[in-house]
């Protein structure tokens, strides 16, 4: 039994190592003689023409289609925790929402304070707002038992709320021609999926077929298509207390494919940013983004959690000490996915500004990743909480709590 738990942890760590290796390989390729070939591969178009983007490139297939599966997996996990686990009470739900809100507001304020309302740069205020779940969890997975299950759940939940908030920001501030008809179709499809759940439909295939249509409709609406994964996850039947419910079955089936396939592939196609001279990161735009991610995120997230706990508004995550919480807050500063996406939307027709935004995203995310890892690596062991053993086993594998005892 201890062997099973150790195997689960090794898989988590291996997935994290694979992701980091893929991102490092992409960064190396983009800044070497192979840079042109790397970008040529990413810009290669194939497949049917899709709304808004035409024939998708390799990069778009990964970022807009495959990553929807990652958001589906994360949505399934959060739904399970919402109804049966650590988010099953209003008090437990309150903390991540407060932390996520502050973690979006502070980076934007840091950005604005640095660019000082420069009309050519101010449109990038939302670039440092969101957390990249894949990279943050990849870093966290490398720490094994040094990061408690509650820290992982807190980080995932904050990141999901961040990304949903970022999608709403895109829809409200960076979508010039939102399709009302496609948005309406998305709502209808989601409604049908929810009705199937209420009607007691237990087979997975109707939900999966409708989820594909939902993805297409969301893409056509002008909203980032990956949000379809989260919405679809919310409609999958959980069957409270049921060991083999449709939700648990789907989560178990797609987990290895996502963590060992989709996520590292995304890291490879997204992290290939050309890095010029070090001095370039000190220009207003990359500096504002970098500090927004590294300083604004950790200040907002950790400050909000500390105030909420001290004021009695929400309980501290069970089994986590303050240093671990601070480390998780630093990891929230890993931007990548949404930051790169919003950067491209914020400066249309301005390739130099887009490249500068990428540089700031890369620099801030790197500092947040290294800083968060160091803080968590040097933190004391998670505080044991006996009653959380079953929930921890669901996240990390059977007998996780027993195996991690000294």
Quick: pLDDT tens for 82-109. Answer: 888 767 778 778 899 999 999 999 999 9
Torsion sign, CA atoms 50, 54, 60, 64: negative
* pLDDT at residue 310 in the model: 94
What pLDDT score was predicted for residue 275? 76
Residues 125 and 117: their CA atoms lie apart, in Å, by 10
Q: What whole-number distance in Å separates Cα of residue 257 and Cα of residue 234?
A: 20
84 CB-side CA count, 13 A? 18
Tokens of 203: 């087979």
CA dihedral 259, 262, 265, 269 (to 10 degrees): -130
253-272: pLDDT as tens digits: 998 899 899 988 988 987 78
Quote the pLDDT of residue 291: 96
Task: Give the confidence band of 305 by pLDDT, cuts at 50, 70, 90.
Answer: very high
**How confident is the model at residue 182, as a pLDDT?**
93
Q: Is the pLDDT of residue 397 over 70?
A: no
Q: Is the pLDDT score of 4 beyond 60?
A: no
pLDDT for the residue 191: 97
Mean per-residue pLDDT over the chain, rounded: 84
pLDDT at 241 over 50: yes
Question: What confidence category does residue 382 fall into, taking pLDDT thresholds of 50, 70 and 90?
Answer: low
Range with lowest mean pLDDT among 217-221, 315-319, 324-328, 369-373: 315-319
Q: How many residues comprise the chain?
A: 406
Higher-pLDDT residue of 389 and 196 is 196
**Coil, strand, or helix at residue 134?**
helix
CATH architecture of the domain covering 1-396: Up-down Bundle (1.20)
Return phi, psi of residue 50, to 5°: -115, 155
Highest mean pLDDT out of 141-155, 162-176, 329-343, 374-388: 329-343
Residue 281: pLDDT over 50: yes
Q: Assign 3-state DSSP to the chain and report helix, strand, coil percentages, each to 5.
A: 75, 0, 25
Q: Is 401 helix (H, G, I), strand (E, B) or coil?
A: helix
Q: Which of 20-34, 169-183, 201-215 is least confident?
A: 169-183
Looking at the whole model, is its pTM more than 0.85? Answer: no
> Is residue 163 classed as helix, strand or coil in its secondary structure?
helix
- The Cβ of residue 206 has, within 10 Å, a number of other Cβ atoms equal to 13
Q: Is the pLDDT of residue 176 over 50?
A: yes
């Amino acid at each position: 039994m201890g062997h099973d738990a150790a195997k689960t942890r090794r898989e988590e760590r291996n997935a994290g190592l694979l992701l980091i290796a893929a991102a490092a390989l992409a960064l190396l390729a983009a800044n070497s003689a192979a840079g042109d070939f790397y970008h040529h591969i990413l810009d290669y178009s194939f497949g049917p023409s899709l709304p808004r983007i035409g024939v998708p490139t390799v990069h778009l297939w990964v970022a807009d289609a495959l990553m929807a599966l990652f958001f589906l997996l994360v949505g399934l996990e959060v739904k399970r925790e919402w109804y049966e686990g650590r988010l099953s009470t209003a008090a437990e739900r309150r903390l991540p929402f407060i932390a996520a809100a502050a973690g979006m507001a502070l980076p934007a304020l840091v950005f604005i304070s640095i660019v000082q309302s420069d009309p050519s740069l101010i449109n990038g205020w939302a670039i440092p707002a969101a957390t990249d779940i894949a990279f943050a969890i990849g870093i966290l997975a490398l720490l094994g038992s040094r990061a408690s299950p509650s820290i992982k759940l807190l980080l995932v939940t904050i990141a999901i709320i961040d990304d949903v908030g970022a999608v709403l920001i895109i829809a409200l501030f960076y979508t010039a021609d939102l399709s009302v008809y496609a948005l309406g179709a998305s709502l209808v499809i989601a409604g049908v999926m929810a009705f199937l759940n209420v009607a007691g439909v237990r087979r997975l295939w109707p939900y999966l077929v409708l989820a594909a249509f939902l993805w297409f409709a969301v893409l056509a609406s002008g909203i980032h298509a990956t949000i379809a994964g989260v919405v679809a996850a919310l409609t999958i039947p959980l069957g409270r207390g049921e060991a083999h419910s449709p939700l648990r079955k789907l989560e178990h089936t797609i987990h290895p494919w996502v963590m060992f396939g989709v996520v590292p592939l995304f890291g490879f196609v997204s992290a290939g940013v050309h890095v010029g001279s070090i001095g370039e990161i000190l220009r207003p735009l990359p500096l504002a983004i970098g500090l927004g991610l590294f300083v604004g995120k950790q200040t907002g997230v950790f400050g909000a959690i500390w105030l909420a706990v001290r004021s009695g508004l929400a309980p501290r995550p069970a089994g986590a000490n303050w240093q671990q919480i601070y480390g998780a807050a630093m990891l929230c500063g890993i931007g990548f996915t949404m930051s790169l996406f919003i950067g491209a939307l914020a400066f249309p027709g301005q390739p130099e500004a887009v490249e500068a935004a990428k540089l700031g995203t890369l620099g801030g995310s790197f500092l947040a990743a290294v800083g968060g890892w160091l803080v968590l690596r040097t933190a004391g062991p998670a505080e044991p909480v006996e009653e959380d053993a079953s929930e921890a086993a669901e996240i990390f594998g059977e007998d996780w709590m027993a195996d991690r005892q000294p």
